Structure 1
């Protein structure tokens, strides 16, 4: 179903502190692998994901949107990792702290796909007329141990960065509109994901993703992308498709596993992982904020956002630029 949901504002909130592979104290061989994966540095937070990251992200999104907290009648919050003392209801705490005291709140723990599924759910509920204005947000703070963050995850293409995202959605005409969202699931890959290849000398991609799971996940990507393109009447080589933005993963997973599933004719995907790493449940919303803040699309152009995660769902979204100033679009390098 084609949507007409406006993106009133989208924001990313990152902590001030940054950490590099070599600055973390890991050995040079592991740091070199992180270099190859395209990671320069990541944001690191010593605080709480809800109060120190998600709340500021939501407040900023509300300020930019022009909506008052009391106007938000739906709050959906997604997370990947432990939420500290906000568990088990971080979504309720978020709504209370930002002042949306009469909003319906929903919490989603869908691993890396949480923010993407939250966007799909929010847009469908808004489009149905059940709600008028929604806030979708994510927040994660991960294990600070350098070996866990940089070696166990980073050298395998999933370097975890701390941060939060938020987007305010409504039914008004906006410079960016959500045109379609579609997800495809492969829960049959659960055991394959949890049993990485034990082949001696295996490369990083085989250490984090069993090769047996690759065809299924590629199929899910192809299905989700085909569905959103079909919904909007776009072909992959349509010149109006300005950009593609994928999950903020390492180069090996993206280029060897996931990009080959995209239909031919699409623009080369933006790679936005180097300064943030993988923002847990927030990659898709962070990419949306990047597109908005950097004015990467002119009126009439489309963007394709694709989110993949170990929640075994792939979500694809098409956004359309409407009322932006074409002369202010920033070229994509």
Structure 2
């Protein structure tokens, strides 16, 4: 999916709470096995003692609006995405984000696609803007808080730890002002058969947390692997990751070995998972340097993708004209890859 030259990411932000829990503290408390430390690659996880997921999303959104120098009234679309409890039952977090930000008339809705939600929401927003030239701008937010007793951030899944955070991106038709990136292209690939991984061995339940006192993703995955083997998932994942990279680069009008493609930002999974699933594909198809920003954040749920856009801007020496890829995946299962470019010049007023 190619977006052309005038769809711009005005800015991207992430918001982390001040509290954190170190790996050493988690091991000492019996929350994390010492044998798991190396394959996680983490030093700590951010922990929110006060703020809910939607509140952290609003904090990130306010930072984005401030950084852009915009009035909130410019935003006509608010998309919010998350994977865990948002603080209230039978409630609409996207409308909360819009109301708190001062955009109560903006079309507001949720995008649910597991941990790929941030990437998918960006693509949905891009399609809105492409179809509606009168839409001023879109705001995409994510926010999650992974607290017990319903969630064990260190042990609910294999090979990753979950960090509390919010993130935000502002997307718009380019104008004469500066932008972080041009959104050049995106590609997605779905393997819906893998939804079974997250429910294998369990009947459909009448209420949440019916099968376990906390969300335990290891149990159904272990059951699935016992029947289907690890190879099936690895084959599908590798093929899908390769396809979204190749397709997004092709749609951007680039070659895989184009020297202008400087980096690819990876999901904030544990380094063991990345080495086993992502890196073999990257070593085969791409010359760009792979980046992992997860050492002090862990996996931010839907927020990895948007936060990676912010960290690419702030931490890497990208120059005007340079390209970067951002890749994401979410159970169960869709993968996405975006190609962004640091704008070489602002769009002239007459071309907006």
CA contact (8 A) 1:26 1:150 kept: no
State how 1:163-242 maps to structure 2 within 5 Å: 163-173=165-175, 174-194=179-199, 195-197=220-222, 210-242=230-262
How much has 1:83 moved relative to structure 2? Answer: 0.4
- The answer as to 2:145 corresponding to 1:141 is yes
How much has 1:266 moved relative to structure 2? Answer: 2.6
- Classify the secondary structure of the residue corresponding to 2:38: helix
In structure 1, what is the Cα distance between the partners aligned to 2:137 and 2:145?
27
Aligned position for 1:23: 25
Change (3 A) 1:223 1:164: same
Change (3 A) 1:28 1:135: closer
- Classify the secondary structure of the residue corresponding to 1:85: coil
Aligned position for 1:95: 98
Number of residue-to-residue matches in the alignment: 315
What's the CA shift string for 1:196-221, capped at 9, x where partnerless? Answer: 3469xx9xxx9xx9432111122221
In structure 1, what is the Cα distance between the partners aligned to 2:53 and 2:44?
23
Aligned position for 1:5: 7
How much has 1:184 moved relative to structure 2? Answer: 0.7
CA contact (8 A) 1:15 1:162 kept: yes
CA contact (8 A) 1:75 1:103 kept: yes
Change (3 A) 1:16 1:29: closer
Aligned position for 1:44: 47
CA contact (8 A) 1:26 1:146 kept: no
- Classify the secondary structure of the residue corresponding to 2:174: coil
- Classify the secondary structure of the residue corresponding to 1:183: strand
In structure 1, what is the Cα distance between the partners aligned to 2:142 and 2:151?
25
In structure 2, what is the Cα distance between the partners aligned to 1:305 and 1:322?
16
TM-score (norm 2): 0.83
CA contact (8 A) 1:57 1:164 kept: yes
Which residue, 97, 107, 111 being the options, matches 1:108? 111
TM-score (norm 1): 0.87
In structure 1, what is the Cα distance between the partners aligned to 2:132 and 2:10?
17
Change (3 A) 1:170 1:319: same
User: Which ranges in structure 2 are unaligned for 5 or more consecutive residues?
Assistant: 200-219, 346-352
In structure 1, what is the Cα distance between the partners aligned to 2:150 and 2:112?
25
User: Which ranges in structure 1 are unaligned for 5 or more consecutive residues?
Assistant: 325-333
In structure 1, what is the Cα distance between the partners aligned to 2:240 and 2:33?
31
In structure 2, what is the Cα distance between the partners aligned to 1:294 and 1:128?
34
How much has 1:251 moved relative to structure 2? Answer: 1.3
In structure 2, what is the Cα distance between the partners aligned to 1:68 and 1:323?
26
- Classify the secondary structure of the residue corresponding to 1:283: helix
- The answer as to 2:54 corresponding to 1:54 is no
